[in-house]
Structure 1
Amino acid sequence: MNKTNAADSKIVRLKLSDQVFERLREMLASGELAAGDTVPSERDLMELFGVGRPAVREALQSMQSKGLITITHGGRSRVNALTAGLAFNQLDDIAKLLLSSEPANIDYLKQVRHILELGTIKIAAQKCTSKDAAELAKLIEDQRSQIKSPEAFMKADIAFHTRIASITTNPLIYSITEMMLTWLFEYHSSLLIWPGREETTLGEHATILSFLKSNDSEGAVRAMEAHLNRSQSSFISAGKR
């Protein structure tokens, strides 16, 4: 047998807790355990898998750390609903570390935002209803009321853009947009240049809304692209300070 192939085929023995975790994950994937269900007790899991309490507890802690279950002290653990938001939340700490460790990644993230939001606004314009438009108008007014508070103004900005993403009715687009903007704005909060730009931002949001209200996809894309291109100048790369 070829030595390289033999090395590649080495058997790796998993920890008992890892094996329990995999079995529980399979139960979730198959629907045997569904959202809202109580997780079998530690004693039941010990009997089911033929392992000791430490392996079961470690596996359950891993399940909770990944957001798959919620452990309640003094009560039974329950299975969480599997959502796109849950999946992307698992990336939060790693993403922030990535952004802080390499400033160039901020520019890459802004590029991703540009691509995603142009695609999002095109779909949203086709689906925008009068109710959607009214809620977006309210968000613009909410943002205007926060004009003297940079942090609140940024949060209102995120709310406006994520509300547009929700119009697509695509949960992946919504969750990616929300996380992406949170990473970008939170990481850049101390580097944003706001003076004199708030009214410009509000005006651009109003223009975007006007195209959404008329279900004009091409106009909405143009307005969003102009908004994103202009807002690039609001950010200063950490490496250029």
Structure 2
Amino acid sequence: MALTPITKRLVPDDVFDQLLGEVVDGSLSAGDTLPSERRLSELLGVSRPAVREALQRMSATRLVEVRHGGATTVRDFQRYAGLDLLPRMLVRDGELDPTVARSIIEARFAIAPGVARMAAERIGRADEHTRRALEEALGTLAAAGDPVARQHAALAFWDAIVDIADSIVFRMMFNNLRLAYEPALEALAPLLDGEVSNLDGYREIRDAVVDGLGLAAQGAATDLLRPATEAMVDFLDALQDEPDEDEPAEDGPGKDEGEAR
């Protein structure tokens, strides 16, 4: 386990982040036993209460199983963790994780059209305040003067769509996806600006929802999201494939030929 000392001003969040990184990266596998609180505090250079709080957070996010008077065991995070972990996983050590970002973009494309359809089918339940929020978000989007402002306006538009859909599960999913996305919003905004600049696409969704046309709302959302989704996935795949600067370059043909001689 490659743990490094932490300055006290950053505890206990950094303790949690470092343990999380070990679990997500696979340095700690499901079934592994963590060192004792005392040993972890020695390895990290922090107090035992800070370690204890971090372990409690790990337990709350279902990353470990803490047994009173016994060992703390790592769980398989892909089977036990919830969407609340996404914000922590997307940006770690100040860097975007392309794999997690790709999953969020793909989830958005898979879920949003269905939410738009549900909103259209349930528009009759929406109160005047919720309907007005949709119009206000569209107006804000039209007036936004830069990519970041347009991103925030687009999030407000989808927030209103989720409210109209009136599903507590979709609401919680949206909340967590938004929390995961917002830390990387400024970095990703230029790549998604073509989408949030497509006012006609948003108006088509709005019109279909207001008119109660479920299939039309679903199709309009799919048409709006598809181009940026495909572009983002290509970008993130390329980012993931970039060689690590710390890794030595692969041997060229000259070296192989020399060794052959």
Tell me the TM-score normalized by structure 1. Answer: 0.56
Structure 1 alignment gaps of length 5 or more: 1-11, 17-53, 68-86
Closer/same/farther in 2, CA of residues 111 and 90 from structure 1, 3 Å limit: closer
Alignment of 1:154-165 (within 5 A): 154-165=151-162
**2:225 alignment partner, one of 220, 228, 232:** 228
Q: 1:24-74: per-residue Cα shift (whole Å, max 9, x none)?
A: xxxxxxxxxxxxxxxxxxxxxxxxxxxxxx98xx579947x969xxxxxxx
Closer/same/farther in 2, CA of residues 206 and 234 from structure 1, 3 Å limit: farther
Is the Cα contact below 8 Å between 1:136 and 1:163 reproduced in 2? Answer: yes
Is the Cα contact below 8 Å between 1:193 and 1:234 reproduced in 2? Answer: no
Is the Cα contact below 8 Å between 1:207 and 1:223 reproduced in 2? Answer: yes
97-106 vs 167-176, which moves further: 97-106
Aligned-residue sequence identity (percent) comes to 13
Aligned partner of 1:118 in structure 2 is 113
SS of the residue 1:154 aligns to? helix
- For residues 226 and 199 of structure 2, the distance between their equivalents in structure 1, rounded to whole angstroms, comes to 15
Closer/same/farther in 2, CA of residues 222 and 186 from structure 1, 3 Å limit: same
Is the Cα contact below 8 Å between 1:191 and 1:238 reproduced in 2? Answer: no
Aligned partner of 1:136 in structure 2 is 134
Is the Cα contact below 8 Å between 1:133 and 1:209 reproduced in 2? Answer: no
Is the Cα contact below 8 Å between 2:148 and 2:186 reproduced in 1? Answer: yes
Whichever residue aligns with residue 107 of structure 1, its letter is: R
**1:127 alignment partner, one of 81, 106, 122:** 122
Superposition deviation, residue 212 in structure 1: 0.5
Aligned partner of 2:177 in structure 1 is 180
Whichever residue aligns with residue 153 of structure 1, its letter is: R
**1:107 alignment partner, one of 99, 102, 106:** 102
Aligned partner of 2:207 in structure 1 is 210
Closer/same/farther in 2, CA of residues 93 and 102 from structure 1, 3 Å limit: closer
Q: 1:211-234: per-residue Cα shift (whole Å, max 9, x none)?
A: 001110011011011001133366
Structure 2 alignment gaps of length 5 or more: 1-32, 38-47, 62-81, 240-261
Q: 1:8-27: per-residue Cα shift (whole Å, max 9, x none)?
A: xxxx9xx89xxxxxxxxxxx
Is the Cα contact below 8 Å between 1:133 and 1:212 reproduced in 2? Answer: no
Closer/same/farther in 2, CA of residues 222 and 98 from structure 1, 3 Å limit: farther
2:235 is aligned with 1:240: no
SS of the residue 2:212 aligns to? coil
Aligned length: 173
Is the Cα contact below 8 Å between 2:120 and 2:210 reproduced in 1? Answer: yes
- For residues 194 and 111 of structure 1, the distance between their equivalents in structure 2, rounded to whole angstroms, comes to 15
- For residues 108 and 121 of structure 1, the distance between their equivalents in structure 2, rounded to whole angstroms, comes to 20
Is the Cα contact below 8 Å between 1:154 and 1:185 reproduced in 2? Answer: no
Superposition deviation, residue 98 in structure 1: 10
- For residues 114 and 199 of structure 1, the distance between their equivalents in structure 2, rounded to whole angstroms, comes to 14
- For residues 205 and 180 of structure 1, the distance between their equivalents in structure 2, rounded to whole angstroms, comes to 20
Aligned partner of 1:8 in structure 2 is none
Superposition deviation, residue 178 in structure 1: 3.2
Superposition deviation, residue 165 in structure 1: 1.2
- For residues 133 and 169 of structure 1, the distance between their equivalents in structure 2, rounded to whole angstroms, comes to 12
Is the Cα contact below 8 Å between 1:99 and 1:106 reproduced in 2? Answer: no
- For residues 127 and 117 of structure 2, the distance between their equivalents in structure 1, rounded to whole angstroms, comes to 17
Tell me the TM-score normalized by structure 2. Answer: 0.52
Whichever residue aligns with residue 186 of structure 2, its letter is: S
206-215 vs 195-204, which moves further: 195-204
- For residues 54 and 189 of structure 2, the distance between their equivalents in structure 1, rounded to whole angstroms, comes to 42
